[in-house]
Structure 1
Amino acid sequence: MRIYWERIKIIPNMKNYYILTFFTYLLFSFTANAQIAAVSFENADYQFGTQPTNISTNDIYDVYVSWRNTFAEPCNNGRYRIKFDTSSQSVSEGIAYGMLLSVYANDKELFDGLWLYYQDFVNANGVMNWKIEGCTTVIGNNGATDAELDAAYALIVADKKWESTGAINYESDALSLISIIKTHEVENGTNVLKPGDAWGGSNTTNPSYFAPGYFRAFGVYSNDTAFWNAVATTSYAILNANLSQNNASYNLVSDWSKADGTYSNEVSWAYDQGRSYYYDAARTPWRMAIDYVWYGDTQAAAYNQLCIDFVNAQGGFNEIYPGYSQAGVAINTGYKDATFTGAYSSAAMTSINQSFVNNGYSELKNQPTAAYFGATLRAIYMFALSGNMYNALEENTLSVNGTVQNEFKIFPNPVLDYLNVSFKTSKARVITLYSINGQQLILKTVNALEAKLDLSEFNSGIYFMNIDGESYKIIKS
């Protein structure tokens, strides 16, 4: 929260006004701090892949609160917007990114405000017009599909986390938006993802919008798996065709493409006419990484391996630059950008090399930026790496309202010293902690609602905890 002070002269008959203003500020301050206090993280273990073990206790909280304080701005009637590069403006992409971050951060006030803002500016097809001036005026018409995808999935997470019994029916809204995407943003008959509701398809698509992990989730959630699995399959076919048709180096897909992999002739306004791995395509490794850590998809693994090979060929994460030709020639070598580094760090979760994965996280953490796009994606990538972009449809997903939850909760994870285990019911249980090599380190019988394990003397790394026959990965910082 930013506080601006200015020197004022209090005229006697205005004294009450300033007292009232002061107390209004205090009330706002307490409310804002209470909302920040509600922020919490699951730090979940993905079913597939390798996560960093060098994430510090406050990293994710700090990056989220910093992002929120910098970019989230209230409108009226509970609405919030995310400030774009031109800070008086907002774009649908940023609103949806904000929904992803806020729902995974358990920040219901911000999430609800962003979704209400999105709905205030929908077009006739039901998708948000892509650019808005402040809180009032549409200045860019029609939708951008990546925003709809992120918003729809965020609504699914909200439904699973907070349920749909309040003022906003997240389930109904998620299903409605998924249906709108199917009708208006997937090309009829080809399963090609369009870049917007009003244009594109086989002649123009954007590979960085492809989110096969979301598509699989949409299929399960809306009971339409055949359709959405086909969209995922088509997305991979286009990615691979783009790499093949243009003799691309490693994973370097182009920003824009035709469905056959060749270059689109409809995006002359884009950098290099959409033919480079630039600020659109940069997000592709993150999208494929999510599909891998959620579902273990082999096509995701193959693409992520190309990303890993590219990083190694460059000499490491600290040698990744913002933008490349498809032949692998760097566009900018004068600076680094988390937009690119973090996406590669996310793809690194496919690797079994723990040191490599940790190096990716370290480099991402050390690339802060004040720019809207880079700062927002940096937070998203850090969420993904820390287990805070988990698959909400997994059976063990935690609901804060308690309807769908485990018999116990393990926290914090990653852990620095003491690991806490809280149970819903008290009964005799056996807790065992093993090293990654299978050596038994702790054996403890408990019959209480809480247990605390001292891991302060253990080395950093991965451990496994067994409770009543179920195993869980523990990361020691």
Structure 2
Amino acid sequence: MFLVFKKLILKERTLMSRNKKFSFNSKAVMLCCLAFLMVPSGLAFAAPNKSFPQHTTYTSGSIKPSNVTQTTMDNSVQTKWDSWKAAYLKPAGTGKYYVKYQSDGSTVSEAHGYGMLATVIMAGYDSSAQTYFDGLYKYYQAHPSDNNAYLMAWKQNSSFQNVEGADSATDGDMDIAYSLLLADRQWGSAGTINYLQAAKNIINAIMQNDVNQSKWTLRLGDWATDGAFDTATRPSDFMLNHLKAFQQATGDTKWNNVIDKTYTIINSIYTGYSSTTGLLPDFVVLNGSTYKPAPANFLEDVSDSYYGYNSCRIPWRITTDYLMTGDNRALPQLTQLNTWIKGKVNSNPSSVKDGYKLNGTVTGSGGSGAFYSPFGVSAMTNSSNQTWLNSVWTKTANSSSEGYYEDSIKLFSMIVMSGNWWTY
């Protein structure tokens, strides 16, 4: 089942309720002018400060694939980026870009956040990265949520019109905000776009509209303010490294409350419902004073309490924070997750299925890169996972195109596995 279908159901229900010196001569001037004419409009000529590849030093004791060289990993990421860009990054009118989410040309803010993250990280390798990023930023600006103009309306059709309610989805908002912080580090904020100020604007809007400030939980979007929706949350939105960057960039200590509560929920679900697997569900609801997996059909379908097409991103999202900061509050859950999945599939990533109950029972019917590739990121926490990590890397790097969602998650998982993720 694809996320566009899930989001459609969700919306239907919720809407109801360089300094270089040149020797100038006539030939050089002519070539320079020709090059200028060939550059896409809106390009800001800022040299990247953190060009790909970065080869970031992760937390002590973490590992990377050992069956290939660093150069081979970098090249594999570049190849994946080239194919992703060709398939999904498209113009959206003068000076704008968007991410083609479906073959019909529609898009969602989740995809837009992915596009902004990928372009800023691949700068340096891709000489047009800032052009793409700025075009994606302009598209985001052109599609504000009705609830807060700094958040992004969650879906547009092939004519770039907002459809199915112009409200936001928290995951898209968070990735857009984080990408703007990275853009400030990458290109600085003295050009045509003040990336840092733009980041602060959306970060403050996320706090205002996407965070339940009585529970300090991440809402599902700026629309989720009534009844059980107001206190529900989605573990695939637990982007702890983003949250820490938001606090650092704004100085707003309320983000510490969100960070602490997020870790609390992770461990509450793990110890109470998935102690033998480490799996977290697609959705979580408040039950009295504690949190539990959402019941069947809470928002989308009977699998709302399962490890499904939302939660498959968790091994990438939560582990990335550990790799970058060393914060070990979620490490027990990740450790159990690694132990369980290796045993479940006999260390063969081709045997990973696209859905599980929290007790490990298979609910999916096939394989998906959205499921197997993030397990490579979680494997990076301990050297005991080296053979498993190597297998997941090889499977992911050699995989063919599946679709926007799978290809995006494979790309980001490879960026992290290769040591090329970096943080604000």
- CA deviations 1:357-385 (Å, max 9, x no partner) are 32221122233333110011111111111
Matches within 5 A, 1:37-116: 40-48=52-60, 49-53=62-66, 54=68, 56=72, 57-106=74-123, 107-116=129-138
Correspondence 1:18-417 to 2 at 5 A: 31=39, 40-48=52-60, 49-53=62-66, 54=68, 56=72, 57-106=74-123, 107-124=129-146, 125-126=148-149, 127-141=151-165, 142-199=167-224, 203-224=231-252, 226-247=253-274, 249-259=276-286, 260-264=290-294, 267-314=297-344, 315-316=346-347, 317-333=349-365, 335-353=366-384, 354-392=386-424
Q: Is the CA contact 1:92–1:129 (under 8 Å) kept in the aligned structure 2?
A: yes
Shift of 1:214: 1.2
Aligned to 2:17: none
The CA deviation string for residues 233-253 of structure 1, in whole angstroms up to 9 with x for no partner, is: 111211222234435641211
SS of residue matched to 2:324: helix
Larger Rg: 1 or 2?
Answer: 1
- Measure how far apart 1:261 and its partner are: 2.5
Deviates more, 1:201-210 or 1:340-349: 201-210
Q: Which runs of 5+ in 1 are unaligned?
A: 1-25, 393-477
The one-letter code matched in structure 2 to 1:228 is: W
Distance 2:298 2:247 in 1: 35
Give the SS at the match of 1:73.
Answer: strand
Q: CA deviation at 1:332?
A: 2.5
Aligned residues: 363
Q: How far apart are the structure 1 equivalents of 2:382 and 2:295?
A: 37
Name the counterpart of 1:444. none
Give me the whole-angstrom Cα distance separating, in 2, the residues matched to 1:365 and 1:296. Answer: 26
Mapped to 1, the partners of 2:333 and 2:364 lie a distance apart of: 24
Structure 1 or 2: more helix by fraction: 2
1:123 positional shift: 1.8
Q: Separation in 2 of the partners of 1:273 and 1:147?
A: 22
Report if aligned partners of 1:192, 1:202 keep a CA contact under 8 Å in 2: no
Shift of 1:223: 1.1
Distance across 1 between alignment mates of 2:197 and 2:162: 26
**2:217–2:231 Cα contact (<8 Å) kept:** no
1:456 match: none
2:367 & 2:38 partners in 1: Cα distance? Answer: 38
Residues 216, 258 of structure 2: 8 Å contact kept: yes
Q: What is the alpha-carbon root mean square deviation over aligned residues?
A: 2.5
Partner of 1:465: none
Q: Residue 163 of structure 2 aligns to a residue in which SS?
A: strand
Tell me if the contact between 1:304 and 1:347 (Cα under 8 Å) persists in the aligned partners.
Answer: yes
Report if the CA contact (8 A) 1:144-1:197 is conserved. yes
Q: Which sections of structure 2, spanning at least 5 residues, go unmatched? A: 1-33, 124-128
Instruction: Say if 1:81 and 1:90, in contact at 8 Å, map to a contact too.
Output: yes
Say which is worse superposed, 131-140 or 69-78, in terms of deviation.
131-140
Q: Is the 8 A contact 1:248 1:328 kept in 2?
A: no
Cα distance change, pair 189–59 in 1 and its aligned pair in 2 (3 A): same
| Pairwise CA distance, 1:209 | 0.5
Alignment partners' CA distance in 1, 2:271 and 2:333: 13
What SS does the aligned partner of 1:299 have?
A: coil
Kindly report which structure 2 residues correspond to 1:6-17, keeping only aligned pairs within 5 A, or say none. none
Deviation at 1:58, TM superposition (A): 1.4
Please give the alpha-carbon distance, in whole angstroms, between the structure 2 residues aligned to 1:194 and 1:143. Answer: 10
User: How many Å separate the matches in 1 of 2:310 and 2:207?
Assistant: 22
Give the SS at the match of 1:139: coil
Q: Matches of 2:81 and 2:250 in 1, distance apart?
A: 30
Alignment partners' CA distance in 1, 2:78 and 2:369: 18
CA distance in 1 between partners of 2:57 and 2:115 (Å): 23
- The one of the two structures with greater contact order (alpha-carbon pairs below 8 A, sep at least 6) is 2
Distance 1:87 1:58 in 2: 31
Change (3 A) 1:313 1:29: farther
Distance in 2 (alpha carbons) for counterparts of 1:246 and 1:46: 30
Q: 1:359 to 1:188 in 2, by over 3 A?
A: same
Sort the Cα spacing of 1:330 and 1:30 in 2 relative to 1 into closer, same or farther, 3 A.
Answer: farther
Give the Å deviation of 1:390: 1.1
Q: Distance in 2 between matches of 1:133 and 1:286?
A: 29
Normalising by structure 1, we get a TM-score of: 0.71
Task: Give the Cα separation in 2 of the matches to 1:87 and 1:229.
Answer: 41
- Say if 2:55 and 2:420, in contact at 8 Å, map to a contact too: yes
Q: Assess if the C-alpha contact under 8 Å between 2:270 and 2:333 holds in 1.
A: no
- Give me the identity figure in percent: 26
Partners of 1:303 and 1:30 in 2: CA distance: 51
| Cα shift readout 1:215-236 (whole Å, capped 9, x = no counterpart) | 1111111112x32122111112
Decide whether aligned partners of structure 1 residues 349 and 368 sit closer, same or farther in structure 2, where only a CA change above 3 A counts: same
Of Structure 1 and Structure 2, the greater strand share is in 1
Q: Distance in 2 between matches of 1:358 and 1:266?
A: 36
C-alpha change, 1:265 and 1:321, in structure 2 (3 Å) is: closer
TM-score, normalising length from structure 2?
A: 0.80
Q: Is the contact between residue 55 and residue 418 of structure 2 (CA under 8 Å) also seen in structure 1?
A: yes
